[in-house]
Amino acid sequence: MKKAIGFLNLHANPSLGKLTEGRTFGTVTFLGRYALMDLALSNFSNSDINKIEILVEGYYDSVRSHISNGNIWVSNTKTGFIRPVLNEKQLYSPNNTDIANIMENIPASAISEDYVVVASPQFLMSIDYRDVLRQHGDSGSGITVVYTKTKEKDRFKGCDSISLDKDGFVRRFNKTNDNEEEEICVPVESYIFSKDVFIGLLRFSREISNTKTTIRKMVELYANNHMTAVKGYEFKGLVVPILSLDQYVDESFKLLSNKNRKQLFDPEWPVYTTTHNTPPARYGDNAVVNNCFVANGSYIKGTVKNSIISRDVVIDEGAVVEDCILFTNTYIGQRVSLKHTVTDKNVIINDVKKLSGDEQDYLLISKGAKI
């Protein structure tokens, strides 16, 4: 099979409120163990895509810190690499787009592969790009758009939908998915480009003098104006959209279900992440844990139900934690009751004995807070 280079697009990702203040969307903790971008990076790695460019919009240090040397996602460091790139010249400008980042940091001559694969972290899935690349090559298309069919329009609120012809080619991008059709096709911000088409798209974006344009907008332009053959690829596995803080919370808790989790995580398709030298979780004599994810390094002495517990969290004796997501190094003191709450990293809750959000409006406690 011909070679491909991967672009992980961290531009124009959704806001998760305070969770994306000080870090990029892709490095937000997910299920207590991963970062949101780990699934997309692992899809590249498992699909034998050994050269990965990470297009960073901002908070570069959070990306660099998470990926470390990147070797876990690159099977052969002699021929492959993983590299975050930042457009420092446009960092605080509205012109800080994915295309501007590529044009600033990655010359066309540096792309020697036959295909370019673009993915975004806000649509979580386990996809084998080798199959997508095979279809792309066989179809003779310049661009392939990965999409999911869904009747759950509310889960993809605000997303585009696409219309396809009988042969599966994209005829049009529709601005919103609130059409009258029962089932819609939602693109999941993942595209395959033939190299020449990709380079031509970048150059054409400058010719039309639209410095704010993006890869997604250019794909839409090409499809709507039939400037090249744009093929659709239906991904039939589970797609988990993370488009808001509320959805981040809701979708995280859905994955406490083993049935749902098996659809996203396949033992034959591992999700790689940065490893830490931490011991297994420990449990006190009176600990009660029910329906939870508990990461390594945590020490549970109290009661934890329906919650996601990250690395090095301590829940002290007599504390009760229900329906919560606790980030790394959170401490919950003795006899504290916590419900419907998300804590960012390094939070201490000790002096206040009862804190609770609402099932429809979770309490979010900022990084480093002491309560």
pLDDT tens for each residue of 152-183: 999 999 999 999 999 999 999 998 765 678 89
Per-residue pLDDT, 175: 80
Q: Flag whether pLDDT at 78 surpasses 90.
A: no
Contacts within 8 Å (CB) and 24+ apart, 15-23: 15/244, 15/245, 16/242, 16/244, 16/245, 16/248, 17/245, 17/364, 18/344, 18/364, 18/366, 18/367, 19/245, 19/248, 19/342, 19/344, 19/364, 21/366, 22/59, 22/62, 22/367, 23/59, 23/62
Nearest-5° Cα angle at 160, 228 to 210: 60
Q: Percentage of residues in the chain with pLDDT exceeding 70?
A: 98
Q: What is the mean pLDDT of the chain?
A: 95
Residue range 342-362: mean pLDDT, rounded: 95
Per-residue pLDDT, 247: 98
Residue range 188-217: mean pLDDT, rounded: 92
Per-residue pLDDT, 192: 99
Handedness of CA 363, 29, 10, 55 (dihedral sign): positive
The amino acid occupying position 188 is: V
Q: Rounded CA gap, 307 and 328, in Å? A: 14
Q: Flag whether pLDDT at 126 surpasses 80.
A: yes
Q: Percentage of residues in the chain with pLDDT exceeding 90?
A: 89
Give Rg (Cα) of the chain: 22
Per-residue pLDDT, 177: 62
Q: Rounded CA gap, 27 and 129, in Å? A: 22
- Using one digit for the tens of pLDDT, what is the confidence trace for 259-272? 999 999 999 999 99
Q: Rounded CA gap, 226 and 207, in Å? A: 18
| pTM beyond 0.85, yes or no | yes
Q: Flag whether pLDDT at 209 surpasses 90.
A: no
Per-residue pLDDT, 210: 64
Per-residue pLDDT, 79: 82
- Using one digit for the tens of pLDDT, what is the confidence trace for 310-346? 999 999 999 999 999 999 999 999 999 999 999 999 9
CB atoms within 10 A of CB 215: 26
- In the chain the domains, ranked by start, together with CATH numbers, are 4-264 (3.90.550.10), 282-365 (2.160.10.10)
Residue range 195-224: mean pLDDT, rounded: 92
Q: Flag whether pLDDT at 254 surpasses 70.
A: yes
- Using one digit for the tens of pLDDT, what is the confidence trace for 265-304? 999 999 999 988 899 999 999 999 999 999 999 999 999 9
Residue range 32-51: mean pLDDT, rounded: 97
Burial class (CB in 10 A: 0-12, 13-18, 19+), 279: exposed
Residue range 100-120: mean pLDDT, rounded: 96
Per-residue pLDDT, 1: 64
Q: Rounded CA gap, 277 and 69, in Å? A: 16
Q: Flag whether pLDDT at 60 surpasses 90.
A: yes
Confidence of residue 142 (pLDDT cuts 50, 70, 90): very high
